[in-house]
Amino acid sequence: MTDTDRLLSEFIQKYRGAGDADPLPFLRRAGDDRPVLAALIDGFLAAEPAPPFDPHAFAVFRATPGREQLVERVLGPEPTLTQLRREVGLEKAEVGERLAERFGLSGRSASAKACYHEIETGQVPPARVRDDVWAALGDIFGRARDVVLDAAATAFEGRVASAGAFARESGPAATAAPDITPPQSDPVRSAFFYEPE
């Protein structure tokens, strides 16, 4: 048995025995094979079923400060980029103009509008959008960039769900951007998006 196998086995036995185990101390012992052990532990945590139901533990869990507010936020409505844009009375073309100006893309506001349209309609995973774009949209909509990013994520997740792309989303290429955009030779697209993998 290799060291990696041994560490994984120790972690699993501790996790199952105690119902809980912090993986970090095991990872710190893995040396150069830490990434492999991390992937194996992550795979275990992904698939391991929950232990038998403990009503007392659940009651304690529910009563933890902040838990109820978290649940309300999870269930609550969240604004979309469309709503944020309409709140400030802007059309997409106007957003495109402002973004083009911000990024020094004079004469290319139509392309900037098209890029913004892709973000607003959830065609691009938020992870592919450059940080400067979030900052710029935050300034344009008068909102914190995190609010803007969340609103874009709402559109993206909703699009994935409604397109029945559950399987596509969970496939090996899912962490990469979906290949629906043209190559990144366009300077406007390069200003907006990171390269897809």
Judged by CB under 8 A, the chain residues 107 through 166 that form the site for another protein are 125-127, 131, 134-135, 144-146, 149-150, 153, 157-158, 160-162, 164, 166
Instruction: Give the DSSP per-residue string, 57-93.
Output: HHHHHHHSTTHHHHHHHHHS----HHHHHHHTT--HH
Tokens of 138: 């935050």
Tokens of 182: 């043209």
22 binds another protein (CB under 8 A): yes
87 binds another protein (CB under 8 A): no
3, 25, 29, 61: which one binds another protein (CB under 8 A): 61
36 binds another protein (CB under 8 A): yes
50, 65, 89, 185: which one binds another protein (CB under 8 A): 50
In the chain, count H helices and then E strands: 12, 0
Residue 45 has a CB neighbour count (10 Å cut-off) of: 13
* Segment interacting with another protein (CB under 8 A) among 62-70, 92-100, 113-121, 178-186: 62-70
88 binds another protein (CB under 8 A): no
Shortest distance, position 110 Cβ to another protein, whole Å: 27
58 binds another protein (CB under 8 A): yes
35, 83, 91, 139: which one binds another protein (CB under 8 A): 35
- Identify which of 107, 66, 79, 99 has the alpha carbon closest to the alpha carbon of residue 192: 99
- Contact by Cβ (8 Å): 195, 184: yes
d(CA 90, CA 87): 8
